[in-house]
Amino acid sequence: MSKLRVLVVGASIAGPTTAYWFARAGATVTVIERFPQLRTNGQNVDIRTAGVTVMRKMAGMEAAVKAKITPMDGISLVRADGYSYGTITATGDPNQQSLVSEYEIFRGDLAQILFDITKDHKNINYVFGEQVASIHQHEQDDGPVTVEFANGFPTAEFDLVVAADGSTSRTRAIGLGCGVRDHVVPTNTWAAYFTMLPDLLEGGRTGQAYNAVGGRFIAIGPDPTGVSRIVLMCTHPRDGRDATQPLREAMKQGDDALKHFVAQHFRGAGWKVDEILKGMLEAKDFYASEIVQVNPPSFHRGRFVMVGDAGYATGAGGTGTTLAIAGAYVLAGEVAKHRGDLAAGLRGYEETMRPIVEDMRKVPAFLQTVLAPQTAWGIWLRNTIFAFITRTRLLQLFQRFFASAFANADKYKLPEYEWVE
């Protein structure tokens, strides 16, 4: 294992975590990122179940995450007139979380924490502004992989190539010899994220969320810098149509066209939406993305393997960060466990992660209707029911029912591995 050469593609969450564990196993790791610097934007992500387990195994990570936890006490669901009909709060127990996580952190902050943990390790080298151009494997899978790069980094040989570059992974397409959208399962949901002034919560630590007809969801979250963090999400019925194609077409035309597409879709939704859209058009950190599932027949092919959203994005289930952290740990651990037999290590990774991925991929069929009703009648009914349960002790049962799949930190019994360091 000490001579294993690993290329990791992607420097967000899955990439640095993968690099950390392979370095712990004695491998030399090169991490490439196509952007010229670390991307530190993004909205809230949660660390749950197996992600909490792995985080606690990484020296200093839990303390660093706690120091950067988002300043949100809960989320208040509001009507068009601003009246709150129910509030969801955290349980206060990080080992038994509710729909509001004790480990909720801005994506950029988590990426920075993982980068800081790994950037000075003697066995880890980061290269920004670079991406894979081609991957050449031996037909008999008995030798290193030759990788050519697009932007001047010299061609090199690696024993293992790891795609950790997200659900729209270009590396997945190269490594599997398929199209970028092959193995991508649309969920007919997309979201836009940005920050804006003024602070629409006026210093409050409880976020606000509002639904409008047509599956439109708007949320305002607090930020310690005094800005408002905004999420605009649109969910279309899953009726066999690819309802997110217009979004992808707008994305090809650049941020201005994309902003106007989002604005057109949300304009007139009521509540504070028109003010939010004005802030969006002026936002410098705006980005939007389609929310998809990724479901390839296998997580690896020869000496090419995928981690996190590149291999098993779960859609709107909220488990992507957890799976990225857990998958990185299991991949490096299984390869280390089967020293000298890389194929056996990759099989072990698949066998260990596949049941966890399939379990976290499960989303109740009616959850979309609950979170994003399409009609005014559906919104009224959902609001009325939720207002009732929040005023009774049924809220605790409600949260356990909906959050049980990602609540208990001990739900998934990850293997223990031996590390060189």
CATH number (domain holding residue 64): 3.50.50.60
CA distance 323 to 294: 13
Please classify residue 112 by burial: count the beta carbons closer than 10 Å to its beta carbon, then call 0-12 exposed, 13-18 middle and 19+ buried.
middle
Residue 233 is inside which H or E element, if any? strand 228-235
Does 47 score more than 90 pLDDT? no
Which of 323, 292, 287, 322 has the alpha carbon at shortest distance from 306?
A: 323
Does 100 score more than 70 pLDDT? no
The residue segments making up the domain with residue 351 are: 5-71+105-182+295-361
| Better pLDDT: 21 or 45 | 21
Does 339 score more than 60 pLDDT? yes
Tokens 């992607």 correspond to 10
Can you list the pairs that 91-97 forms with residues at least 24 positions away whose Cβ atoms lie under 8 Å? 91/399, 94/52, 94/409, 95/52, 95/408, 95/409, 95/410, 96/407, 96/408, 96/409, 97/46, 97/48, 97/403, 97/406, 97/407
Whether residue 270 is found in the same domain as residue 321 = no
Mean pLDDT of 295-308: 96
**Tens digit of pLDDT for each residue in 58-87?**
999 999 999 988 777 788 889 999 998 878
From 287, 310, 338, the end of a domain falls on: 287
CA distance 307 to 156: 21
* pTM score: 0.89
Mean pLDDT over the full length of the chain: 88
**Tens digit of pLDDT for each residue in 353-406?**
999 999 888 766 666 667 788 999 999 988 888 787 777 665 555 555 555 444
Whether residue 175 is found in the same domain as residue 44 = yes
DSSP-assigned letter for residue 101: -
Whether residue 176 is found in the same domain as residue 49 = yes
CA distance 48 to 179: 32
User: Tokens at residue 15, please?
Assistant: 């990439």
Angle between helix 320-337 and helix 342-361 axes, rounded to 10 deg = 160
| Better pLDDT: 126 or 107 | 126
Question: Between β-strands 184-196 and 44-46, what pairing exists: parallel, antiparallel or unpaired?
Answer: unpaired
pLDDT tier, 141 (very low <50, low <70, confident <90, very high otherwise): low
Please classify residue 183 by burial: count the beta carbons closer than 10 Å to its beta carbon, then call 0-12 exposed, 13-18 middle and 19+ buried.
buried
**pLDDT at res. 404:** 47
Question: Between β-strands 287-294 and 124-128, what pairing exists: parallel, antiparallel or unpaired?
Answer: unpaired
pLDDT tier, 410 (very low <50, low <70, confident <90, very high otherwise): low
**pLDDT at res. 362:** 77
Mean pLDDT of 285-302: 94
**pLDDT at res. 406:** 47
**pLDDT at res. 90:** 64
Q: Is residue 172 a part of any domain in this protein?
A: yes
Count Cα atoms within 13 angstroms, Cβ side, for 376: 3
pLDDT tier, 92 (very low <50, low <70, confident <90, very high otherwise): low
Which of 86, 78, 367, 387 has the alpha carbon at shortest distance from 212?
A: 78
**pLDDT at res. 200:** 94
Q: Is residue 388 a part of any domain in this protein?
A: no
pLDDT tier, 1 (very low <50, low <70, confident <90, very high otherwise): very low
Residue 76 is inside which H or E element, if any? strand 74-78
Q: Is residue 128 a part of any domain in this protein?
A: yes
Whether residue 193 is found in the same domain as residue 149 = no
CA dihedral over 35, 36, 37, 42, signed as positive or negative: negative
CA distance 170 to 372: 31
The CATH code of the domain that includes 237 is 3.30.70
Whether residue 177 is found in the same domain as residue 208 = no
Position 65: which residue type?
Answer: V
Q: What percent of the chain has pLDDT over 90?
A: 64
Mean pLDDT of 134-149: 87
| Better pLDDT: 48 or 149 | 149
User: Tokens at residue 161, please?
Assistant: 């190539």
pLDDT tier, 94 (very low <50, low <70, confident <90, very high otherwise): low
**DSSP string across 354-381:** HHHHHHHH---TTHHHHHS-SSHHHHHH
Does 243 score more than 90 pLDDT? no
**pLDDT at res. 405:** 46
Count of domains for the chain: 2
DSSP-assigned letter for residue 226: S
pLDDT tier, 35 (very low <50, low <70, confident <90, very high otherwise): very high
CA distance 171 to 81: 47
From 337, 361, 385, the end of a domain falls on: 361
Mean pLDDT of 208-218: 94
Q: Is residue 332 a part of any domain in this protein?
A: yes
Q: What percent of the chain has pLDDT over 70?
A: 89
Alpha carbon 220 to its chain centroid, in Å, reads 19
**190 and 289 in contact (C-beta within 8 Å)?**
yes
